[in-house]
Structure 1
Amino acid sequence: MKSRIHNFKQLLLLVNIFFLFSSFVNAQEKTLSQKIEELKKEINHLNGYQKLRLLDSLCFITRDKIEFKYDSIIKATIDYAIDIDSFDIANRHAARLVWSYTNRLGRPNEGKAFFEDFDAKKLPVTNNALLARFYLNGGDSYYFSEEVEKAIDIYNIASEYASKEGDSILYGISKKYIADAYTRIGKLAAASKMLQEVEAIYLKTKDTIRLVNTKSSRADLYSMSGFYNEAKVERNEVVKLAKAINYESGIISALLNAAIDNSFTENKSEALHNLNSALDYAQNSVEVKDRYEPQILNKLLQEYSILDSLEKATQILKKIQANPERYTKGYFEDAYNKSLGYYYLAKKEYSKSLEYAKKHYDFQIKNRSVEQKKSAHTLLYKVYQQMGNSKSALYHYEQATVINDSLMAIKRSNALSYYQTLYETEKRDAKIARKESEIEILNHENRDKQRWIIFGGLSLLAIFTIIYLSRIRKFEHKKQKLQNKFSQNLINAQENERGRIARELHDSVGQKLMLLSKSMKYVGDENTKTLAKDTLEEVRSISRGLHPSNLERLGLTESIKVLVYNINATTDLFFSEDIENIDGTVSKNVELHVYRIIQETLSNIVRHSEAKAVKIKIKKPKGEIDITVSDNGKGFDFQTKYKDMSLGLKTLKERAKIIGAKLYFDSQDNNGTIMQLNIPI
């Protein structure tokens, strides 16, 4: 009995505390509402600068609060400031409203529209720093509305005003924003060069916070190039620097972007660790919580759903839905739809999953972000696959694959461009260093030793020339090695991905189609049975194209013969072959590349050569394998073709390099083509 009374008293105490807390919150809200109403009444009885001063205060206390009609209040303040010729104040509030729309409320299109209307007024603003801020925020509105190239133009105007003001901080911010925009549209060389300039500014001004942000941009640049390890090193340094100065926004941003990189590299455990760390920092910071928490929670919901951690995913979803206006609308609506698509997919509620996946797709199809379009197609592919809609699943899978191949090509191009920039920078720095050394020598020697100066100068010039040439040779060698390694890793990753997708098609879609075909046999629906068999054969054909399963079952020699037989059966080409058994002479990895080289060569003959006959010869002399494929087609001018090498020829050369083989082509116009491949055993 005493225990029950005690429990009842505790419950009563908790209820009282709850009501007291509610009263306190309501009192605070009421006090703020009262203060706003009092200010409005006072403003109505004033004129001139006194009225403008109170309007300024009203803007401050209602800042970003939609419920108090902040945007209407700040617009009224701007109009009144213009009426009494306070153009600088009008410009300051206009810049703040554009920032609020874009960065706080997640409505960049409204920010852009207001920016354009205000900019068209061409007010005689005298403060260059205010103008720089206005154009910086205007550039942001274009950047987040996916008009990145227009954003660059606006950021450049901001940098001009910052330069006129002599404000190195504002100048650095504008240049950093331009670098971010260059990174967004793939101009990584220009972005890298500009980030170096910005870092020099912040090191000189000892501005650690902005230096952290600039380093974060460099990490993003690495990610765009596919250099995820380099990005990780840079982000770790960013977190370390940000922690040293207690810069919470910098820490959270670095952890969040690291988690996004982890998703690309399929490192789910590290992605969850980084996301939960970011969430801890966000929830313990009043200043940045609203800015980052919605994005982190939606990303966590997606990751837990993908990992089938439904209990944790449901907990995260409850947190999100507790504040729908903030976490599921505006800027975060698409992330919420995507996360729900994965959540209901994990729960096997496929109709709901499809509903949200389509919303995500409809939004991203209008977006310029290629990565997000791939993401939308991938989600729909997974949903349709689970629903048994093979046709739609295959369509979205193919679209995602095409985009992925395009992204890989872009990243490879970006990487080469980035290395070229590094080379040019090092060459320029070496030249500057040499000139400065020569000037220093000339300034400190006296006239009596002029002959020794000339002799010494020539000696130094010769030494520097030798060092310079040596460094260039080393750098060229290093760059070539890096390019080769990148290309080889790209091809290996592509083969691994093809193998994985081929297995998934065979084990998942193929098995279901086989089951469907067998089921139709008993149902008696011949049309559906025929359709299922045809679709199954198509899936198997795609699977075989993605990964040659014959290699494991038949061995390299028989696989090549089957390849020749299939092409012979489906084309008008006449094949003659002289193929020795080469099974077991090289590793499985080398066998795969040899098969791909022959497959690509025969494919090129079928598509381009207009040949009537093809001869394939495979011999195994001592210590090597010699492969020759020749045709009597139209050939091509190899010297011209080599200068502007196609992707197919580049891939053949890269595969040959991977296995340490030598690849030769002998071709002339109207005189056929011979491909020779010599593989060391």
Structure 2
Amino acid sequence: MKNILRTISFFFLFYNVFPDCSYANIPADTLKIDSLLAFAFTLEANQPDSAIALYEQAGIRAKKIKDPLREGQSYHYRALVMFEQGEYDLALENYNLAIELYKQSGNETGIASVKSNMGNIWLLTGDYEKAVDLYFQAIESFKSLKDTLRLLISYMNIGTLFYDNDYPGEGLNYLELALPLAVDLQDDRTLAEIHHSISLNYYKLDSIESFLYHMRKARSYAIEADHLYVEMLTYNSNLEYHIDHENVDSALYYARMNLDAAELYGNPYNLTGTYNMVGSAYILANMPNRALIVLHKAHSLGETHGFIPMLAWSNESLAKVYESLGTFREAHKHASSLNVLKDSVFKMERQKEVLAMDRKYNVAQKQHELEQQQLSIELKDQQLNRRNTLVALSGAFSLLLLLLIFLLYKLMQNKSRLSAREMEQVKLQRDKQMIKALMEGEEKERRRIARELHDGINGNLAALKLNLAGIQNKDFSSLLEETMSEIRDLSHNLVPDVVKRSGLKNALEQFVYKINRSPDIKVDYQFMGSENSIAEEMGVHMYRIVQELLTNSLKHSGASQILVQIIINEETISLTVEDDGKGFEINPEVGLPENSEGIGLSGVENRVTYMQGSFDIHSSSHSGTSIHIEIPLTANVVS
């Protein structure tokens, strides 16, 4: 069973009570409270204790002027900061006080928001019955209030709960309800969070292609929105994926990226999970001493904050490492602690309760929807009967006239659309023919140069070697042989007949093998799927694209590790090339580097355009460069 990303994603709800009216109409005391609340919010990330103190002052002032709305908000926001600090009991106390004050002021949105946030605490501490009950209460409230954003976040929290209890199918159901709401909001941060959660559920369902697709989407949105939290989670997920598949080099790469991001983010729960995961990577790489350092950090945080599942995980890993080192006393101590923490019977009962409550909720929801539909049908029947009388007297002529106008309008509209579409098709066909002509010219020139190298220069060198055979100079002979070998390699690279002979997969394996002979670079090559569906011409283009991207990375990025991943499914061929080198500036208008000609990307762009594919680049100084290309296997070829 997959247990990827034991670090759970939590989504919190805020309730903003700042007034929409003009400041001229707000009393001075109220303005002072609003200013304190706003200033405290800016301190939450870097000065949490100061933020709590300011929220307390705001609450005291609100109580003095008998403003339960703002007093409730002071407790609500205080609890959110306490949760981030791992003070769950104090957070629950403040949440309960906030609910009572919101009830006094009649704020249903605030009450529902607090319930959803309390559900996060019970989910983290293992009381799934309380968590699911609070989540469903919040969902019903947000539905009745028609609050799209908070309803979306509640769906995401329910999805997290089912994922945490190993019900990925049910988790996907709720996340798929949240996704269209997030698309409508056009919020990159929320889209990053949803795509990441969806990817984890697909991983538990062993749907690797869907997992990789949504993980790439999540990281793309996270980098675009500067969302460090989700960027950290994507590194964590990729780390466990490579641990599960025993890819040591890739696991160590993502371990470093995950550790840097988690320590920068600083949340105790996420940091505990990261230390445990990095420890697993070091165990895989046979680095027991490094594993002990991070696993003891995870164990210490787990004990301090009461993270029971995390503590069990660190005990299990520590017992394994100490046993491998022959330190059996320490191994026995951690194994005993693990047995105390295990409570599989409790977890199974909780899982049954979660499913039972979910079924009850679905039954009640469907019954309510049927009642609403029946009521709506009865009202529509009454309205229809009244309208029929009016339509029979005066509607026939009006309907005929409207129909005639509509048909005339559609005729003109279709004619205009057809003309524009034809012009677009002609332009597209012309562009494709131009690109094909450029590529054919380039291939002819490559073949001419290759022929000259092979038949001309290489032949002359061979003759020179025969003429100088009598000279006993090993250095001279070795240099001549090396020069002839390099000319043969250059000739073969210019005309990649190996693609036609051996197929794309083997051709790229040979190309990567030559690069990996250098001690300064490591290329991780992954090929998934069957290449039988790839046409010969498309295979040559894909070989050229990988060749140009790797050459570009070797020349410009200064990278030490490069990932080349090809995934083939029924409809598309997907290529991802990532390196850990120095990035470059992206032109936001075209989505390409400022000087794409200078760094060798124009040829790649032409080939992708010719094959009707998509070309996506992300680059930054701290995470290198990531290029993703998707080509439809049914791409038309210009004759």
Greater RCO (CA < 8 Å, at least 6 residues apart)? 2
Greater share of residues in helix: 1
For normalisation by structure 1, the TM-score amounts to: 0.43
